[in-house]
Amino acid sequence: MENIMYDFGMIGLGVMGSNFLLNMADKGFKVIGFDLDAAKAAKLEKEATTGTTVRGVNTLEEMVKQLDKPRRIMMLVPAGKPVDAVIENLLPFIEKDDVVIDGGNSHYIDTLKRVKYLEEKGIHFMGMGVSGGEEGARKGPSIMPGGDMAAWKRVQPMLEAVSAKVDNEPCVAYMGKDAAGHYVKMVHNGIEYAIMQLISEAYDVMKRGLGLNNKELADVFTKWNEDELQSFLIEITSEIFLKKDDETGKEIVDIISDKAGSKGTGKWTSQDAMELPVSIPTIDTAVAMRTISGYKDQRVAASALYQSKIKELKGKTPADIKKIQDALHFAIVIAYAQGLSMLHEASSALNMDISLADVVKIWRGGCIIRSSLLEVFYKAYRKDKSLANILLTKSVARIVKKAEKNARTVIRLAMQSKIPVTGLSSAVGYFDAYCSASMPTNLIQAQRDFFGAHTYQRIDKEGTFHTEWNEEVVQTEKPHAETENPQIPERE
């Protein structure tokens, strides 16, 4: 093995890194991986498919020396400082024209800095989202590269080979300029948070509201996965309900603590949405609900203080379950709509040139939010590349209109029964606001002008106005520049 020169190197042989590399070896590439942990490097070689060329080493220098030039190196290490540390350790060994890829969940602002830093040194750096978890990495993930075009061209055939495929098309495409790859992955995760929250609310309505047991829940989700809700997250949910705990023999879902963790990508999506600004309340709510889930002691105390008891809902008939299915379907469409509208906005605001058609195309397979809905969105974006929001297309409108009534019914019943459905209701609230030709925000403008002389625009004539609220209305001498966004303070 000593004299072999390798096609691709991986830094970090955790589950994701080693699975990605083994996948690449299965597609005929010669691969080498580095990890300080000797056991991980040895495990990589042991797990390689017979006949493939896979090597695991324990020093960075050893790995870099055995890579064909210009080199192709990817890192899959935790986001933040570890990525900078790897770059610094790597720099003495790499040279101009080498390609370095960060395949972790890095924050896009960090990626932007790294692109510039390495560009000065002649290194092609690419931020790349990889979705699909352990199994996806091994069998075919969805891959979201962005930034350096030369880097993309050099790794394109390899990434196309390892990615998931839908209709023989690879689930990888160049996402756009600068940090577009990590930006798209961040929003993917925001949508992931929202869908998971919505599914957990549907579960709550059926479990605490209707009294379904885990077997019945598994059956419901299995059926839903065969229908219009077909998706990876619905599929794994059906399997979760049937899984028994090895230790106790109990159904494991019932002994898992209700405190939800997070690594931050959902929060970043919400933070960046506020920055843009773009409205993604269902994603915000999903982040907030994970936070509330962490207040276990307070929740226990409050539940005793307020004696909050769930009022059971009536009926477990297929018609009742269908209503919940519709509510979930409705809200999931809205969650995608919010995330995709954010990408639309960010693409131009941050000058990334993201093609939404390519985004939904590569999300159709391999990633955590893959679902049959993506096919509908793909068609819509192919027809209209500049679509601001998928809710504005007829095919999506048909789905939403069909499910809308049941979404409202389920939310009403859940609220009466004290089951929190903040995700579902935020989706309906967003939809209602989005479909309101006029909103009550004229009153907010009046209040702002009343207490802060922030001015307002009128519907009957051009210009910017201020009212002396106890006297008559006067037009300011020079009309202020038109501002579309009422959130921007005109005067402090």
Please provide the DSSP assignment of 189-241 as one string.
HHHHHHHHHHHHHHHHIIIIIT---HHHHHHHHHHHHTTTT-BHHHHHHHHHT
> Nearer to ligand 6PG by C-beta: 7 or 358?
358
Strands (E), 50-153: 54-57, 72-75, 99-102, 124-131, 142-147
Stretch that binds ligand 6PG, among 20-28, 130-138, 154-162, 406-414 (CB under 6 A): 130-138
Stretch that binds ligand 6PG, among 48-56, 129-137, 231-239, 338-346 (CB under 6 A): 129-137
> Nearer to ligand 6PG by C-beta: 56 or 132?
132
Cα–Cα nearest to 410, from 394, 424, 431: 424
Q: Which residue in the set 215, 250, 263, 311 belongs to the binding site for ligand 6PG (CB under 6 A)?
A: 263
Q: How far is the CB of 145 from ligand 6PG (least distance, A)?
A: 14
Q: Which residue in the set 92, 261, 318, 440 belongs to the binding site for ligand 6PG (CB under 6 A)?
A: 261
Strand arrangement, sheet containing 31-34: 54-57, 31-34, 8-11, 72-75, 99-102, 124-131, 142-147
Q: How far is the CB of 293 from ligand 6PG (least distance, A)?
A: 12
Q: How many residues bind ligand 6PG (CB under 6 A)?
A: 13
Q: Where are the alpha helices (DSSP H) in 230-317?
A: 232-240, 265-275, 281-293, 296-305
Please give the distance of CA 416 from its chain centroid, rounded to a whole number.
31
> Nearer to ligand 6PG by C-beta: 134 or 404?
134
> Nearer to ligand 6PG by C-beta: 269 or 455?
269
Q: Is 73 helix (H, G, I), strand (E, B) or coil?
A: strand
Look up residue 73 and give its two tokens: 């190196």
- Site membership for ligand 6PG, residue 367 (CB under 6 A): yes
- Site membership for ligand 6PG, residue 258 (CB under 6 A): no
- Site membership for ligand 6PG, residue 35 (CB under 6 A): no
Q: How far is the CB of 232 from ligand 6PG (least distance, A)?
A: 10
Q: Which residue in the set 237, 265, 371, 422 belongs to the binding site for ligand 6PG (CB under 6 A)?
A: 265
- Site membership for ligand 6PG, residue 366 (CB under 6 A): no
- Site membership for ligand 6PG, residue 192 (CB under 6 A): yes
- Site membership for ligand 6PG, residue 14 (CB under 6 A): no
SS3 content of the chain, % helix, strand, coil (to 5): 55, 10, 35
Stretch that binds ligand 6PG, among 53-61, 260-268, 341-349, 387-395 (CB under 6 A): 260-268
Place of tokens 């060329």: 53
Query: How open is the CA angle 20-25-28, to the nearest 5 degrees?
Result: 135
> Nearer to ligand 6PG by C-beta: 262 or 393?
262
Q: How far is the CB of 104 from ligand 6PG (least distance, A)?
A: 9
Q: How far is the CB of 20 from ligand 6PG (least distance, A)?
A: 12
Distances (CA, A) of 198 to 102, 203, 252: 31, 9, 21
- Site membership for ligand 6PG, residue 131 (CB under 6 A): yes
- Site membership for ligand 6PG, residue 422 (CB under 6 A): no
CA distance 191 to 367: 12
Distances (CA, A) of 180 to 99, 177, 193, 321, 465: 17, 6, 20, 40, 40
Q: How far is the CB of 115 from ligand 6PG (least distance, A)?
A: 21
Tell me 379's DSSP state: H
Look up residue 205 and give its two tokens: 């309505």
Look up residue 371 and give its two tokens: 């679902």
Please give the distance of CA 39 from its chain centroid, rounded to a whole number.
33
Stretch that binds ligand 6PG, among 91-99, 131-139, 175-183, 471-479 (CB under 6 A): 131-139
- Site membership for ligand 6PG, residue 283 (CB under 6 A): no
Pairing of strands 124-131, 142-147: antiparallel
Q: Which residue in the set 54, 205, 368, 390 belongs to the binding site for ligand 6PG (CB under 6 A)?
A: 368
- Site membership for ligand 6PG, residue 94 (CB under 6 A): no
Active-site residues: which are they? 185, 192
The residue number with the shortest CB distance to ligand 6PG is: 131
Q: Which residue in the set 189, 325, 338, 426 belongs to the binding site for ligand 6PG (CB under 6 A)?
A: 189
* Pair 251, 244: CB distance under 8 Å: yes
Q: Point out which residues bind ligand 6PG (CB under 6 A).
A: 105, 131-133, 189, 192, 261-263, 265-266, 367-368
